[in-house]
A and B are shown apart, each in its own frame.
Chain A
Amino acid sequence: MNSGAEAMVRARGLRKEYGKDESLVRAVDRVDLDVAPGESLAVMGPSGCGKSTLLHLLGGLDRATAGELWLAGRRIDQMSERGMAALRRDAVGFVFQAFHLMDELTAAENVELPVLLAGRSPRTARRRAAELLDQVGLTDRARHLPTQLSGGQRQRVAIARALANRPQVVLADEPTGNLDSEATLDVLRLFERLHEAGQTLVIVTHDARIAATADRLISMRDGAFIDETRLTGGTSGQLGALLNLDG
Chain B
Amino acid sequence: MLIGRLVGRDLRYRPSQAVLLLLAICAATTVLSLALDLHGVTQQPYQQTRTATRGPDVVAAFGPSALTMPHGPHGPLPGAAEAKLLAEEKALMSAPGVTGYSGPYPVASVIVRLGTVAAPLEAEGRREAPASLDQPKLIAGSWVRPDGIVLERTFAEALGARVGDRVSLDGRRYTVAGIAVTAASAPYPNLCFPPGGNCVFDLGMNCSGKPGTVLSCSAGGISGIPSDANIGLGWVTEPDARALASNAAPLAYLLNLKLKDPAAAPAFAAAHSNAQNNANLGPGSGGLTPWQSIAYNDGLLVQDEQQVLTPGAWLAGLLAIACVAVLAGGRMADQSRRVGLLKAVGGTPGLVGVVLMAENLALALLAAGLGLVAGWLAAPLITSPGAALVGAPGAPSMTAATVAEVVGVALVVALAATLAPAIRGARTSTVSALANAARPPRRRARLIAISRRLPVPLLLGVRLVARRPRRALLGAASVAVTMTGIVAVLTFHATADSRLGVSSALTNPVVTRDEQMLVVLTVALVALAVLNAIITAWATVLDTAGAAALARALGARRSHLTAAIAAAQLLPAIPGAILGVPLGLGLFAAANGGGAAATTIPSVAWLAPAVLATLIAVTGLTTIPAWAGARRPVTDVLAQET
> Which residues of A pack against B, CB within 8 Å?
56, 61-62, 81-82, 85-90, 94, 96-98, 100, 102-105, 109, 112-114, 116-119, 122, 125, 145, 147, 161, 165
Across-interface contacts of A56 in B (CB, < 8 A): 635
Count, A-B residue pairs, CB within 8 A: 77
B551, CB-defined interface residue at 8 Å: yes
- For residue B187, give the distance in angstroms from its CB to the closest CB of chain A: 64
A118 to chain B: closest residue by CB = B555
Whether B555 contacts A114 by the Cβ 8 Å rule is yes
Across-interface contacts of A147 in B (CB, < 8 A): 440
Across-interface contacts of A109 in B (CB, < 8 A): 448
CA distance A87 to B466 in the complex (A): 28
Known: A104-B441, A104-B442. A117 touches B553 (CB 8 A): no
Whether A88 contacts B553 by the Cβ 8 Å rule is yes
Across-interface contacts of B555 in A (CB, < 8 A): 85-90, 114, 117-118, 165
CA distance A90 to B556 in the complex (A): 11
Whether B642 contacts A117 by the Cβ 8 Å rule is no
Known: A61-B635, A62-B634, A109-B448. A116 touches B552 (CB 8 A): no
**Interface contacts beyond A61-B635, A90-B555, A116-B459: sample of 5 additional A-B pairs, CB < 8 Å, sorted by A:** A103-B440, A109-B448, A112-B452, A116-B452, A122-B452
Whether A117 contacts B456 by the Cβ 8 Å rule is yes
Partner of A125, one of B452, B547, B558: B452
> Which residues of B pack against A, CB within 8 Å?
440-444, 448, 452-453, 456, 459, 463, 466-467, 547, 550-559, 633-635, 638, 641-642
Across-interface contacts of B453 in A (CB, < 8 A): 122
Partner of B642, one of A85, A98, A113: A98
CA distance A90 to B555 in the complex (A): 8
- For residue B290, give the distance in angstroms from its CB to the closest CB of chain A: 71
Whether B554 contacts A98 by the Cβ 8 Å rule is no
CA distance A109 to B448 in the complex (A): 9
CA distance A122 to B556 in the complex (A): 17
Which of B456, B459, B635 gathers most chain A CB within 10 Å?
A: B635
CA distance A109 to B554 in the complex (A): 14
CA distance A155 to B266 in the complex (A): 88
Partner of A145, one of B443, B444, B550, B638: B443
Which of A96, A116, A119 gathers most chain B CB within 10 Å?
A: A116
CA distance A117 to B458 in the complex (A): 11
Whether B554 contacts A113 by the Cβ 8 Å rule is yes
The 4 closest A-B pairs by CB, nearest first: A89-B555, A122-B452, A104-B443, A88-B555
B556 to chain A: closest residue by CB = A117
CA distance A118 to B550 in the complex (A): 15
Across-interface contacts of A102 in B (CB, < 8 A): 547, 550
CA distance A113 to B558 in the complex (A): 16
- For residue B370, give the distance in angstroms from its CB to the closest CB of chain A: 41
Across-interface contacts of B642 in A (CB, < 8 A): 97-98
CA distance A161 to B406 in the complex (A): 56
Across-interface contacts of A97 in B (CB, < 8 A): 642
Q: Can you show 22 pairs from A to B with CB atoms below 8 A apart? A: A61-B553, A61-B634, A62-B633, A62-B635, A82-B559, A88-B553, A89-B554, A97-B642, A98-B638, A98-B641, A100-B550, A100-B553, A103-B441, A104-B441, A104-B443, A104-B467, A109-B448, A112-B452, A116-B459, A117-B554, A122-B453, A147-B440
A87 to chain B: closest residue by CB = B555
- For residue B549, give the distance in angstroms from its CB to the closest CB of chain A: 9
CA distance A87 to B557 in the complex (A): 11
Known: A62-B633, A102-B550, A103-B440. A81 touches B448 (CB 8 A): no
CA distance A13 to B588 in the complex (A): 70
- For residue B122, give the distance in angstroms from its CB to the closest CB of chain A: 74
A143 to chain B: closest residue by CB = B445
- For residue A198, give the distance in angstroms from its CB to the closest CB of chain B: 22
Across-interface contacts of A62 in B (CB, < 8 A): 633-635
CA distance A161 to B554 in the complex (A): 9
Across-interface contacts of A86 in B (CB, < 8 A): 555
CA distance A202 to B201 in the complex (A): 98
B630 to chain A: closest residue by CB = A81
Known: A102-B547, A102-B550, A117-B551. A85 touches B557 (CB 8 A): yes
Partner of A94, one of B443, B466, B551, B553: B553
B547 to chain A: closest residue by CB = A102
A114 to chain B: closest residue by CB = B554
Whether B553 contacts A82 by the Cβ 8 Å rule is no
- For residue A160, give the distance in angstroms from its CB to the closest CB of chain B: 13
Whether A119 contacts B641 by the Cβ 8 Å rule is no
Across-interface contacts of B463 in A (CB, < 8 A): 104
Across-interface contacts of A103 in B (CB, < 8 A): 440-441
Known: A96-B638, A103-B440. A88 touches B554 (CB 8 A): yes
- For residue A95, give the distance in angstroms from its CB to the closest CB of chain B: 11
Across-interface contacts of B641 in A (CB, < 8 A): 98, 100
